[in-house]
């Protein structure tokens, strides 16, 4: 019945308008969080339940998300948002727990220059509240599960495939799976104990650890070694996640074997390349994420002026950095603040277009 | 009587600006946890005092709970409008990435629509501060608050008009971006005005509904008490914000600029104009919070997007820098500044004073008016003197 839908749609819209215009949404959000910091109507929050030291530089954070957590498919990632010294920062982490669990786990390797990973390692502890985005990513086990599977992972790239393995284990669906994992040493293998337990339990799971410090086999990924290890790799639905060198060589091998169609991969996102200080002639590509528009910004002046020259019509006011009319979200890329000389290369930062100069290709939330 | 600011050369102004930029850089680099904690604690106070105020109005009986309820609700509205709304919408907390503190999305609990405000205040007023003909905040298109504005007979009514504006200040603020006066001068068509007024009318309707429809209805038999209480709380907030804002730009000693003076000005000269176009109010921590730190109008105009709670620690350094460059740093007690503003509104309702205009034209005095100590009494005599002499 169309009119019922129409009435219900109109009602929903009126309700949300009224809530906003009467500030009831803000009130509700405040008082909910006052009662329980995990509760929210607008975002998914989670409370840290447990922190597990996996290896010397890797920790798993087990969190209990609020009721509006939609659940994930094994292999997907979530964007974890925490507040570091008053500033909200976000990082994507693969979910390592099995789907359907009431607890969600993500595993973080401490990067030598990673501000956020270091903060998570040093400060995040049970009881803390963080925010999670809706799980995303196409690096997932297809339905129905393929008969013959192959997981290839390196280092902390094990996390999404671990979620897949745990999911299969929960469903009793570990039938014919080869799991090859590369790590620097035995003590660097994340989830080592659980992997061994699962391998003992499931005759269909063949676990191979390739360790750099093992005396016998070759170090790292080696095509000949791998072909010997898994002769039927071409016929297996393969899930690959690891550092770039491993990924590159494996992809080449699959291409050469004409088996790319059966290879799914998850890349760790690469940092945008920093341009040399932009001379007046350098060009950058700017993508407007919301509208999908692509522009080339070039020439003198601020990013705002460059985009306007490229044909964009953007809200702006004082054009000197004080009124914030042109403030927008930079999803990725690097800009330089023309007033302070400060360089912003973190994803998801607010920038003022009128006092920013592009230093790399950009994606803006416009 | 304080000495007016020294005229700075372009180079001096640049050096002045660089020192202020450096101060700004140091504070911005230090922003963090405590700024977020501060603004959230103000928000918490505002929320709790709103609930307390409404609770007392809704279920209380008798005058004591009424007065306490109105006070609590007024306090909540003042905190929400000043320290939260005004400052958040300036982008002072955009660096936090918290959507609740997002300048572009924040909407405040007042008749003025947020987007209108972001335009008329953040852009127009803060960019063209105190430039005659460009900053429509100079007298809000009607009041004569500086002798440079030509006198019109209607200005005779301005003391009464100012009193009305104080009582209904949120409506003045709300309608400010509609450019009403441009209808009279033919610069705006009635259709243009109607289009422009849409956000304001919609916001105003919801605000009226909330305070005088919904909440009284929820109070059942207490409806008249709630409606009246809301009216008083809104009125209290109105008078308070009027007083604070008028003290920011209109006390004696604050100067206005001709458009030519600001043409092609450098960043340093912009700072100089912000300084000479603003005045501070001295007081304690709570006065500053209740004014949304607009008691530090000078620092606010120099650093409009630095969290306002940092102004008190920046002020001594700003003042020291101003001293070294021979710049006047206008400040005084609330009583003194307000007395000066009210005196000025009264005295400038009469034509004149010719002497000041002449002085400006001669270029002998960079300053619009000599400073007299406190209340309006002395000022009125002064300002009216040339007029009386001419008559």
Nearest by CB to A86, which of B35, B99, B127? B35
Q: Per-residue pLDDT tens for B252-300? A: 889 999 999 999 899 999 999 999 999 999 999 999 999 999 999 999 9
Q: pLDDT for A237-285, tens place per residue?
A: 999 999 888 998 999 999 999 999 999 988 764 333 333 344 444 788 9
- Tokens 């400038």 locate to B348
Interface test with A, best of B28, B45, B123 (most A CBs within 10 A): B123
Is A22 in contact with B47 (Cβ distance < 8 A)?
Answer: no
Rounded mean pLDDT of B26-46?
A: 97
**Least Cα separation, residue B156 to chain A (angstroms):** 35
The average confidence (pLDDT) of chain A is: 89
- Looking at the complex, report in whole angstroms how far the Cα of residue B380 sits from the nearest Cα belonging to chain A: 37
Q: Where are the beta strands (DSSP E) in A246-326?
A: 263-266, 283-288, 293-298
Buried b (16+ CB within 10 A) or exposed e, B114-144: bbbbbbbbbbbbbbbbbbbebbbbbbbebbb
Task: Tell me whether residue A348 is in a domain.
Answer: yes
**Which residue range is the domain that position B220 belongs to?**
33-109+202-236
**Which of these, A274, A323, A26, A144, lies nearest to B94 by C-alpha position?**
A323
What tens digit of pLDDT does each residue of A309-338 get? 887 878 777 777 777 878 999 999 999 888
- Model ipTM? 0.84
Question: CB–CB of A86/B36 below 8 Å?
Answer: yes
Predicted confidence at residue B111, as pLDDT, reads: 96
Q: What CATH number did the domain enclosing A287 receive?
A: 3.10.20.30
Domain for residue B41, yes or no? yes
pLDDT band at B29 (very low <50, low <70, confident <90, very high): very high
From A107, A132, A157, the end of a domain falls on: A132
Query: Is A5 within the bounds of a domain?
Result: no
Mean pLDDT lowest among A227-236, B27-36, B40-49, B139-148: B139-148
Using the predicted structure, report yes or no on whether residue B56 has a pLDDT greater than 60: yes
A338 touches chain B (CB under 8 A): no
Tell me whether residues A88 and B119 touch, CB distance under 8 A. no
Which chain B residues in 2-21 lie under 8 Å from chain A, judged by CB atoms?
A: 21
Which residues on A lie below 8 Å from B264 (Cβ)? none
Tell which B residues from 291 to 330 touch A, by Cβ distance under 8 Å: 304-305
Q: Is residue A40 within 8 angstroms of chain B, CB to CB?
A: no
User: What is the reported pLDDT for A324?
Assistant: 80
Domain count, chain B: 1
Mutation pick from A40, A43, A115, A324 vs chain B, by most beta carbons of B within 10 Å, is A324
Clarify whether residues A358 and A325 are in a common domain: yes
User: Which chain B residues contact residue A324 at CB under 8 A?
Assistant: 90-91, 94, 103-104, 118, 122, 305
Residues of chain A with Cβ-Cβ distance to B37 below 8 Å are 86
- How close A18 comes to chain B (CA, Å)? 8
Structure confidence at residue B2 (pLDDT): 59
Kindly report the pTM of this predicted structure: 0.83
Contacts (Cβ under 8 Å, ≥6 apart) of A172: none
Contacts from A198-207 at CB under 8 Å and sequence distance 24+?
A: A198/A165, A198/A169, A198/A174, A201/A169, A202/A169, A202/A174, A202/A177, A204/A174, A204/A175, A204/A176, A204/A177, A205/A165, A205/A174, A205/A177, A205/A179, A206/A177, A206/A178, A206/A179, A207/A179, A207/A181
User: Which residues in chain B (319-378) have CB-CB distances under 8 A to chain A?
Assistant: none
Q: In this predicted structure, what is the pLDDT of residue B356?
A: 46
Structural domain ending residue among the three candidates A231, A266, A301: A266
The pLDDT tens digits of the residues spanning A152-171 come to 999 999 999 999 999 999 99
Residue B60 maps to a domain:
yes
Question: Is B62 part of any domain?
Answer: yes
What per-residue confidence (pLDDT) applies to B1? 42
Residue A336: give the domain boundaries.
Answer: 283-364
DSSP-assigned states of every residue in B97-134: --GGG-TTT---SSSS-HHHHIIIIIIIIHHSTTBTTT
Whether A193 and A291 map to the same domain: the answer is no
CA B20 – CA B306 distance, rounded (Å): 12
Residue A36 counted as domain residue: no
- CA torsion angle for B313, B318, B319, B323 (degrees, to 10)? 150
Residue ranges of A 229-258 with Cβ closer than 8 A to chain B: none
Residue B129: pLDDT band with limits 50, 70, 90: very high
- What value does the mean pLDDT take over residues A222-228? 92
Render pLDDT for A52-74 as a digit per residue (tens, 0 to 9).
999 999 999 999 999 999 999 99
pLDDT of residue A111: 84
Q: What is the reported pLDDT for A270?
A: 38
Residue B52 counted as domain residue = yes
Kindly report the nearest CA distance between residue A281 and chain B, in angstroms: 26
Share of chain A above pLDDT 70, in %: 95
Identify whether A121 is part of a domain. yes
pLDDT digits (tens, 9 = 90+) for A77-88: 898 999 999 988
Looking at every residue in chain B, the average pLDDT score rounds to 88
- Do A87 and B96 count as a contact with CB atoms less than 8 A apart? yes
Instruction: For chain B, say whether A134 makes contact (Cβ under 8 Å).
Output: no
Residue A339 near residue A345 (C-beta atoms within 8 A):
no
> Which residues of chain A does B270 touch, with a Cβ-Cβ cutoff of 8 Å?
320
Q: Which residues pair with A283 in a beta bridge?
A: A298
CB contact under 8 A, A85 and B32: yes
> Does B136 have pLDDT greater than 80?
yes
Taking each continuous run of H as one helix and of E as one strand, the counts in chain A are 8, 19
Q: What is the pLDDT of residue B7?
A: 92
Structural domains in chain A (count): 3
Residue A175 lies in a domain: yes
Tell me the pLDDT tens digit for each residue of B334-363: 999 999 999 999 999 999 764 444 334 333
The two tokens of residue A286 are 């700017």
**In this structure, are A52 and A158 located in the same domain?**
no
Assess whether pLDDT exceeds 70 at residue B366: no
Is B234's Cβ below 8 Å from some Cβ in A?
A: no
The answer to whether residue B75 is domain-embedded is yes
Residue A63: predicted pLDDT: 98
Dist. CA A7–CA A98, nearest whole Å: 40
Which pLDDT score, from 0 to 100, does residue A19 have?
93
Residue A243 lies in a domain: yes
**Residue B104 confidence (pLDDT):** 86
In this structure, are A189 and A292 located in the same domain?
no
CA distance B327 to chain A (A): 23
Output B154 or A289, whichever has higher pLDDT: B154
- Hey, of B104, B271, B274, which one would you mutate to test binding to chain A, going by the most A CBs within 10 A of its CB? B104
Residues A127 and A163 in one domain: no
* Structural domain includes residue A204: yes
% of chain B with per-residue pLDDT over 70: 90
Interchain pair B33, A85: CB under 8 A:
yes
A314 and A254 within one domain? no
Please report the pLDDT score of residue A271 as a whole number.
34
Instruction: State whether residue B52 sits within 8 Å of chain A by CB.
Output: no
Residue A82: give its domain's CATH number. Answer: 2.40.30.10
In this predicted structure, the answer to whether residue A92 has a pLDDT above a threshold of 90 is no
Contacts of A325 in chain B (CB under 8 A): 118-119, 122-123
pLDDT tens-digit profile of B149-182? 999 999 999 999 999 999 999 999 999 988 887 8
A259 inside domain: yes
Above pLDDT 90, what percent of chain A? 64
| Domain match, A113 and A212 both | no
Domain end position, chosen among A132, A158, A191: A132
Q: Report if residue B88 sits inside a domain.
A: yes
Q: Are residues A89 and A166 in the same domain?
A: no
What CATH number has the domain bearing residue A164? 3.40.50.80
- By the CB < 8 Å criterion, does A11 face chain B? no
């Amino acid at each position: 019945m169309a009119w019922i839908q129409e009435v219900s749609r109109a009602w929903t819209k009126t309700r949300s308008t009224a809530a906003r215009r009467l500030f009831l949404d803000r009130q509700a959000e405040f008082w909910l969080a006052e009662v329980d910091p995990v509760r929210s109507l607008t975002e998914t929050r989670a409370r840290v339940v447990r922190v597990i030291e996996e290896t010397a530089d890797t920790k798993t954070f087990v969190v209990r998300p609020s009721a509006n957590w939609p659940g994930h498919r094994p292999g997907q990632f979530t964007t974890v948002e925490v507040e570091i010294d008053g500033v909200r920062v976000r990082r994507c982490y693969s979910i390592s727990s099995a789907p359907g669990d009431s607890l969600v786990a993500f595993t973080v390797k401490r990067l030598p220059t990673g501000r956020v990973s270091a903060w998570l390692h040093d400060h995040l502890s049970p009881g803390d509240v963080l925010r999670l985005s809706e799980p995303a990513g196409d690096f997932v086990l297809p339905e129905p599960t393929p008969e013959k599977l192959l997981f290839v992972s390196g280092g902390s790239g094990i996390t999404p495939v671990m979620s897949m393995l745990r999911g299969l284990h929960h469903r009793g669906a570990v039938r014919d799976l080869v799991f090859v994992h590369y790590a620097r040493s035995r003590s660097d293998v994340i989830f080592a104990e659980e992997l061994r337990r699962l391998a003992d339990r499931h005759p269909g799971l063949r676990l191979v650890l390739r360790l750099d410090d093992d005396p016998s086999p070759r170090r790292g990924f080696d095509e000949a070694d791998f072909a010997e290890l898994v002769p039927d790799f071409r016929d297996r639905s393969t899930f690959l996640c690891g550092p770039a060198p491993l990924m590159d060589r494996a992809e080449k091998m699959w291409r050469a074997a004409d088996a790319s169609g059966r290879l799914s991969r998850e890349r760790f996102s690469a940092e945008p390349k920093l341009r040399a200080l932009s001379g007046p002639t350098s060009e950058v590509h700017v993508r407007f994420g919301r509208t999908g528009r692509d522009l080339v910004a070039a020439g003198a002046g601020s990013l705002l002026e460059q985009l306007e020259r490229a044909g964009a019509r953007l809200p702006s006011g004082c054009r000197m950095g004080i009124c914030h009319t042109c403030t927008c979200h930079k999803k990725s890329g690097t800009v330089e603040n023309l007033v302070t000389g400060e360089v912003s290369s973190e994803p998801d930062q607010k920038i003022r277009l009128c006092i920013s100069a592009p230093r790399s290709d950009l994606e803006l939330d416009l | 009587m304080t000495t007016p600011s020294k005229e700075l050369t372009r180079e001096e102004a640049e050096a002045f600006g660089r020192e202020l930029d450096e101060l700004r850089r140091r504070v911005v680099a230090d922003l963090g946890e405590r700024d977020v904690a501060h603004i959230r604690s103000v928000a918490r106070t505002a929320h709790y005092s709103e609930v307390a105020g409404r609770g007392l109005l809704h279920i209380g009986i008798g005058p004591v709970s009424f007065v306490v309820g109105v006070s609590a609700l007024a306090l909540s509205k003042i905190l929400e409008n000043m320290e939260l709304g005004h400052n958040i919408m300036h982008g002072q907390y955009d660096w936090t990435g918290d959507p609740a503190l997002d300048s572009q999305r924040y909407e405040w609990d007042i008749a003025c629509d947020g987007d209108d405000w972001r335009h008329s205040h953040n852009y127009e007023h803060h960019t063209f501060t105190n430039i005659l003909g460009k900053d429509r905040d100079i007298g809000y298109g009607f009041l004569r608050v500086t002798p440079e504005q030509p006198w019109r007979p209607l200005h005779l009514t301005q003391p009464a008009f100012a009193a009305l504006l104080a009582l209904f200040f949120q409506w003045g603020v709300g309608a400010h971006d509609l450019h009403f006066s441009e209808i009279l001068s033919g610069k705006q068509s009635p259709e243009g005005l109607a289009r422009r007024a849409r956000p304001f009318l919609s916001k105003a309707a919801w605000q009226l509904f909330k305070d005088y429809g919904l909440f009284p209805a929820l109070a059942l038999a207490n409806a008249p008490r709630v409606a009246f209480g809301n009216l008083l709380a809104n009125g209290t907030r109105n008078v308070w914000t009027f007083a604070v804002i008028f003290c920011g730009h209109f006390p004696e000693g604050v100067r206005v600029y001709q458009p030519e003076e600001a043409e092609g000005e450098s960043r340093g000269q912009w700072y100089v104009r912000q300084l000479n176009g603003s005045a501070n109010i001295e007081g304690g921590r709570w006065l500053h919070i209740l004014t949304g730190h607009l008691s530090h109008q000078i620092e606010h105009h120099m650093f409009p997007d630095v969290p306002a709670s940092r102004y008190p620690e920046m002020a001594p350094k700003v003042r020291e820098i101003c001293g070294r460059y021979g710049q006047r740093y206008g400040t005084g007690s609330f009583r003194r500044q307000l007395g000066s503003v009210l005196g000025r509104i009264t005295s400038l309702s009469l034509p004149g004073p010719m002497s000041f205009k002449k002085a400006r034209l001669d270029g002998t005095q960079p300053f619009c008016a000599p400073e007299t100590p406190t209340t309006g009494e002395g000022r009125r005599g002064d300002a009216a003197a040339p007029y009386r002499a001419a008559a």
